[in-house]
Structure 1
Amino acid sequence: MQHTIVMTGASRGIGRVAAEHILRRSPDVHLLVVARGPSGARSVAELGAGGHAVSHVPADLGSLESVRSAATGIRGRLERGELPPLRGFVGNAGVQYTNALTETPDGFEATFAVNVLANHLFVRLLQDRFTAPARIVITASDTHFGDFKHNMGMVPGPSWKSPDVLARTGAFPGPGTAAGGRTAYSTSKLAVIHLVHEYARRLPAGIDAVAYNPGFVPGTGLARDAGPLTRFAMRCVLPMTALKPFATGRRAAGRRLADVVLGTTRAPSGSYVDRDRVDRSSRESYDKRREGELWEAAERLTAAYTAGADPSRTT
């Protein structure tokens, strides 16, 4: 049966590899790529080679108004029958800044806005358009553990605060430093897992939500906003660590993401897939009170962008 999968972060890195696998292994998929600028049209041309069904919708994930526009456009295409039924959403795009002071046009801290709020807005605006069985997959990170074993000391561990504080700039010590930006990143990835747990409780039956951790994947574009030395290390030096146990090669990580999206890796709703198997996320990531608080904050912070779209709401 033909169906649609909406995907962010499909233009490069592990997302690009995953998109290729999804299209090759599931010929009934219409892949709808969400991308900014010319990369969307380029991805359609390249991924669509060979007759694959691929289209794109432009969006800047750093702008919730842009996300709203993209999601409502997708809803309209689904309602008019221009797209086959929606069976998947893959929130793979993510950012990491060299500070915790970068602000979006909406007034949110950029890391939290892209990695958390943009995904939440897509899920909520598309929620009533899913046809069961459907799967939501959001890319998480080893960094949410906050220990040397999982990130080799390269990224500070998460520093949880009220979601209203996390959503604004300057939430962490040294907000103008790279350490502040990396703390914002690891904290946002902890928030992703919290939301996946809450989605599993709140979304209608037949819509599963899964967090996928690719492991440390050197050589991606994650550090594109870093300084020249860090960019050089990520591009030229750290890819050699992909042969080490704590790292994952880009192609392996992308293939495993496709496995999760397509259900080849069996993962119940609310689960955490570590590379190629379901596993426990950090002890800190299991906190129902915190998860409920984050849900309520995400609902409130995105309310202005869901108004008028009439997505079905759950409580």
Structure 2
Amino acid sequence: QHTIVMTGASRGIGRVAAEHLLCRSPDVHLLVVARGSSGAQLAAELATGGHTVSHVSADLCSLPSVRSAATGIRDRLDKGELPPLRGFVGNAGTQYTNALTETPEGFESTFAVNVLANHLFVRLLQDRFAAPARIVITASDTHFGDFRHNMGMVPGPAWKSPDVLARTGAFPEPDTTTAGRTAYSTSKLAALYLVHEYARRLPAGIDAVAYNPGFVPGTGLARNAGPVSRFAMRRILPVMTLTPFATRRSAAGRYLADVVLGTTQAPTGSYVDRGRADRSSQESYDPQRERELWDAAEQLTAAYAAGADGLSDDF
């Protein structure tokens, strides 16, 4: 038996992936991370059929909440309440209609959820992984920033110093939807940078892989958008799954499960585009930016990682 920790399992591709993981890996104990009381209901629904599912509460917009969840998982592993940890799936993501939404700790919310929350989870669980293990972070082809990958619906990333990206107002006209979408694509570029750093720094036997589901209409990603955009995502854009441009939610979730289970061959540091390992954008391979982001992420999360029992500073 083994444990897989997963964020973003309550809806969309994450829900589909969770169901695949449980059906295809009978020995898995799936530990879902969800906000508030929703985790208990999610765990109960997923456990139907005799699967082993538990939950931990966390608000990914709050780094103290992430710390509490991660330390709780560490305690359960140490007490033998959970089987060995073999996976972490950072599938949760968010996109706002501006670049001014702020977390209680003063971070720009897109960057906090899509980058810092994943990093803090990895940092706090790093010494509890039992090889072979796999960390999978959900990325996005919006990081390419070209028409071919998103038909101009999302502006490309606009990289800046990570200390600037972590705060509100990093982009021009920060109160606009364009700025919010730029924050999203930039955060997904940052996720790739961190995956490359994890591949360099994690011990042998613990892989880190980025997964791109492609454009998947009908997910909860547009839940913070205006009513017109939400209607389009739910009712109009799903027809695009009939074209090669978009991915059905069922297929995207299955592809994610394939990556987590290792069915899709992808060495550590890989970028998996739907069902196969591929090259990410040229901009996403930049060792200097990767080191700078690593240093910034370490600094920005240090207060929440400090003091965890047994946590090593060498990583």
**TM-score normalised according to structure 2 size:** 0.99
Partner of 1:264: 263
Partners of 1:96 and 1:25 in 2: how far apart?
Answer: 31
Q: Alpha-carbon deviations, 1:225-279, whole Å to 9, x = none?
A: 1000000000111111111111000000000000000000010000000000000
- The CA RMSD measured in Å over matched residues stands at 0.6
Structure 2: unaligned runs, 5 residues or longer: none
SS of structure 1 residue aligned to 2:14: helix
Match of 1:144 in 2: 143
Cross-structure match for 1:8: 7
Q: Distance in 1 between matches of 2:36 and 2:240?
A: 32
- 1:16-40 superposed Cα distances (whole Å, 9 cap, x missing partner): 0000000000000000000002321
2:28 aligns to what? 29
**Whole-Å Cα distance in 1 between the matches of residues 241 and 64 of structure 2?**
37
- Structure 1 gaps of 5+ residues are none
- 2:314 aligns to what? 314
Structure 1 Cα separation of the partners of residues 164 and 314 of structure 2: 25
Whole-angstrom CA distance in 2 between matches of 1:79 and 1:32: 15
Alignment partners' CA distance in 2, 1:267 and 1:174: 39
Shift of residue 195, structure 1, vs aligned partner: 0.3
Q: Tell me if the contact between 1:34 and 1:56 (Cα under 8 Å) persists in the aligned partners.
A: yes
1:22 is paired with a residue whose SS is helix
Equivalent in the alignment of 2:300:
301
Q: Equivalent residue for 2:133?
A: 134
User: Aligned partners of 1:78 and 1:38: how far apart in 2?
Assistant: 22
The one-letter code matched in structure 1 to 2:266 is: A
Deviations 1:116-154, CA, capped at 9 Å, x for gaps: 000000000000000000000000001000000000100
Asked whether the equivalents of residues 202 and 314 of structure 1 are also in contact (C-alpha less than 8 Å), the reply is no
Measured in 1, the distance between the counterparts of 2:104 and 2:205 equals 35
Q: How does 1:1-315 map to 2 (within 5 A)?
A: 2-309=1-308, 310-315=310-315
Rounded to whole Å, the distance in 2 between the matches of 1:314 and 1:28 is 32
1:222 aligns to what SS in structure 2? helix
Alignment size in residue pairs: 314
1:42 Cα shift? 1.3
Displacement of 1:314: 2.7
Q: CA deviation at 1:204?
A: 1.1
Structure 1 residue 313, shift from structure 2 partner: 2.9
CA contact (8 A) 1:34 1:59 kept: yes
3-state DSSP class of the match of 1:40?
helix
Q: CA deviation at 1:197?
A: 0.3
- Aligned partners of 1:234, 1:142: CA distance in 2, in Å? 17
Letter of the aligned partner of 1:173 in structure 2?
P
State the identity %. Answer: 82
Q: What amino acid is aligned across from residue 13 of structure 1 in structure 2?
A: G
Determine the C-alpha separation between the residues in 2 that align with 1:106 and 1:270. 30
* TM-fit CA distance, 1:312: 2.4
Preserved contact between residue 78 and residue 84 of structure 1 (Cα < 8 Å): yes
Q: Check conservation: 1:14, 1:254, Cα contact below 8 A.
A: yes
Whichever residue aligns with residue 295 of structure 2, its letter is E
Tell me, yes or no, if the aligned pair for 1:102 and 1:109 is still in contact at 8 Å. Answer: yes
Q: Which contiguous aligned blocks of 4+ residues in structure 1 show a shift greater than 3 angstroms?
A: none
Alpha-carbon distance in 2 for matches of 1:103, 1:153 = 26
Counterpart residue identity of residue 237, structure 1? I
